[in-house]
């Protein structure tokens, strides 16, 4: 897949903190271009969080960490992110909030 010129500004590259293989950079950039999630899995200590931090830094985005365990359900994530939004609304006003 070729990434268009206007999408290159929103692309991931290796940094001094994290050196990614060409294949990994391609997978990350395809996910970015398609606006789809990319599942990264591996044993503890293999660099998954470091990769997430490097991607967030590269894109000037805030990294949100959600630790998953065997009992975690997808719906739990909705609660976590809704809580974060409610805290944000509480800090910066509730304009446009209906509930």
Cα(73)–Cα(77) distance, integer angstroms: 7
Q: What is the pTM of this model?
A: 0.62
**Tens digits of residue pLDDT in 8-63:** 567 888 777 888 899 999 999 999 999 998 998 899 999 999 999 999 998 888 88
Residues 54 and 9 in one domain: yes
Is the confidence at residue 1, as pLDDT, over 70? Answer: no
> What is the per-residue pLDDT for 97?
52
**Tens digits of residue pLDDT in 66-97:** 778 889 887 777 766 666 666 666 666 555 55
Angle formed by the axes of helices 22-34 and 48-58, nearest 10°: 60
Range of the domain at 78: 67-99
Residues 81 and 47 in one domain: no
Which residue is associated with the tokens 């590259």? 13
> What is the per-residue pLDDT for 96?
57
Residues 71 and 59 in one domain: no
């Amino acid at each position: 897949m070729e990434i268009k010129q206007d999408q290159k500004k929103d692309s991931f590259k290796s940094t001094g903190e994290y050196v990614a293989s060409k294949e990994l950079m391609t997978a990350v950039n395809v996910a970015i271009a398609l606006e789809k999630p990319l599942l990264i899995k591996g044993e503890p200590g293999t660099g998954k969080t470091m990769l997430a931090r490097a991607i967030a830094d590269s894109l000037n985005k805030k990294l949100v960490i959600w630790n998953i365990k065997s009992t975690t359900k997808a719906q739990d994530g909705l609660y976590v992110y809704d809580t974060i939004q409610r805290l944000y609304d509480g800090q910066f006003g509730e304009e446009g909030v209906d509930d």
